Amino acid sequence: MAALNKVLDVAGVSKRFGANEVLSDVSLQVDKGETVCVLGPSGSGKSTLLRCINWLERPDAGQIYLNGQRVGVSGAGIAMSDRDLSKIRTRVGMVFQHFALWPHLTVLQNLMEAPVQVQRRPKAEVRDEALALLEKVGLVEKRDAFPSRLSGGQKQRVGIARALAMRPDLLLFDEPTSALDPELVGEVLVVMRELAHEGMTMVIVTHEMGFAREAATRVLFLDRGRNVESGPPEQFFAKPETERARQFLQRYAGDTANGKH
């Protein structure tokens, strides 16, 4: 049944900050194993959309379902308790533009913190898994380093491993390579590509057009808070339907070459 495969369902979400309508009636469904890339100019509401998914922002209208469970609102339309919200959030991993690692913890501790403290999983098991994840992102030798001692690319690989350590059903990426020096972008995209191949379910906000073209199962183009266009990447990049998307792609044409590391 298709419905069982649906990890994320964003249904008609709107959000405004004061008079500024940042999201207007945005819908998005993501099936298990999909990599959806969200594209759009700066200020178009991409971050806000991601932040609504794990309820860092409360949408003004619309619903969000994670594996069929309503996010942020419990049965009778009451705001969800912190406990339930926290449970949902641990099933959604988030990767931040500026890494947002916890500066007082070592790399390994960053990975173990939420699984041990929030999910209350046994420490030994979490530690083994965290080390395996560090192996996977190529940073096992940095496990006892503090984040401040790492390069941007290394920090972001730790950021991805930290999100994976919670065994999430869904990973959200908010411009994971935008803060990186160009020569460090590749090492992060390699990890993300691998996750896509392994069938991790991901929603990725990015300006890396090359990556989106290759790795996305679907792209969603946001402009001024509206879902202007969405579809398979081959179609979007070759024959965008709207003038807005065409202009946007022209502006980022240079990045298409860049992204193919």
Q: Which residues bind other proteins (CB under 8 A)?
A: 54, 56, 82, 85-87, 89-90, 92, 94, 96, 98-104, 113-114, 117-119, 146-148, 162, 166
Least CB distance to ligand ADP at residue 40 (A): 6
Instruction: Estimate the crossing angle of helix 152-164 against helix 107-117, to 10 degrees.
Output: 20
If the CB atoms of residues 69 and 242 are measured against ligand ADP, the closer one turns out to be 242
* 35-39 vs 218-223, strand pairing mode: parallel
Residue 234 and residue 252: Cα distance in Å, rounded?
A: 16
Strand partners of residue 26: 13
Note the residues at the interface with ligand ADP (CB under 6 A). 17, 20, 22, 40, 42-48
Asked if 48 touches Mg ion (CB under 5 A), the answer is no
Asked if 230 touches Mg ion (CB under 5 A), the answer is no
Asked if 47 touches Mg ion (CB under 5 A), the answer is yes
Q: Which residues contact 160 (CB under 8 A, 6 or more apart)?
A: 95, 137, 171, 176, 188, 191, 192, 195
Rounded to a whole number of angstroms, the CA Rg of the chain reads 18
Residue 229 and residue 73: Cα distance in Å, rounded?
A: 29
Distance of CA 62 to the CA centre of its chain: 20
If the CB atoms of residues 157 and 213 are measured against other proteins, the closer one turns out to be 157
Residue-wise burial string across 179-218, b where 16 or more C-beta atoms lie within 10 A, e elsewhere: ebeeebbbbbbebbeebbeeebbbbbbbbbbbbbbebbbb
Least CB distance to other proteins at residue 160 (A): 13
Least CB distance to other proteins at residue 83 (A): 8
**Residue 45 touches which of ligand ADP, other proteins, Mg ion, none (CB < 5 to 8 A by kind)?**
ligand ADP
Least CB distance to Mg ion at residue 195 (A): 21
Least CB distance to Mg ion at residue 172 (A): 12
* 202-205 vs 35-39, strand pairing mode: parallel
If the CB atoms of residues 43 and 254 are measured against ligand ADP, the closer one turns out to be 43
If the CB atoms of residues 80 and 95 are measured against Mg ion, the closer one turns out to be 95
**Residue 56 touches which of other proteins, Mg ion, ligand ADP, none (CB < 5 to 8 A by kind)?**
other proteins
Q: Of the ranges 45-53, 181-189, 213-221, 243-251, which one interacts with Mg ion (CB under 5 A)?
A: 45-53
Asked if 177 touches Mg ion (CB under 5 A), the answer is no
Least CB distance to ligand ADP at residue 47 (A): 3
Least CB distance to Mg ion at residue 175 (A): 6
Nearest to 200 by CA among 233, 164, 153: 164
**Residue 99 touches which of other proteins, ligand ADP, Mg ion, none (CB < 5 to 8 A by kind)?**
other proteins
Q: Is the dihedral of CA 119, 123, 125, 127 positive or negative?
A: positive
Residues of the shown chain interacting with Mg ion in the complex, contacts defined by CB under 5 A:
47
